[in-house]
Amino acid sequence: MQRTLWFDDEKPRERAAEGRDDAPGRKDSEYAPIRLYDVQAAAGNGAVVGVEQVADTLMFKRSWIHQELHAQPNDLYLIFVDGESMEPTLRPGDIILVDRRDAHSIPRDGIYVLRMDNSLLVKRLQRLPGRKVKVTSDNPAYEPFDLSLDAPGEDLAIIGRVVWSGRRM
pLDDT digits (tens, 9 = 90+) for 28-70: 699 999 999 998 887 755 444 555 688 899 999 999 999 999 9
Residues of the chain with pLDDT under 70: 1-28, 44-52, 104, 151-154
What pTM did the predictor assign?
0.79
Q: Which residues pair with 80 in a beta bridge?
A: 40, 95
Q: What distance in Å separates the CA atoms of residue 91 and residue 87, rounded to the nearest whole number?
A: 5
Q: What distance in Å separates the CA atoms of residue 84 and residue 81, rounded to the nearest whole number?
A: 9
- pLDDT for 102: 75
Structural domains of the chain, with CATH? 31-166 (2.10.109.10)
- DSSP letter string, 20-75: -TTSTTTTT-SEEEEEEEEEEEESSS-EE---EEEEEEEEEEHHHHHHHH---GGG
Q: What distance in Å separates the CA atoms of residue 62 and residue 71, rounded to the nearest whole number?
A: 9
Distances (CA, A) of 104 to 30, 81, 131, 151: 31, 21, 12, 14
Q: What distance in Å separates the CA atoms of residue 56 and residue 78, rounded to the nearest whole number?
A: 9
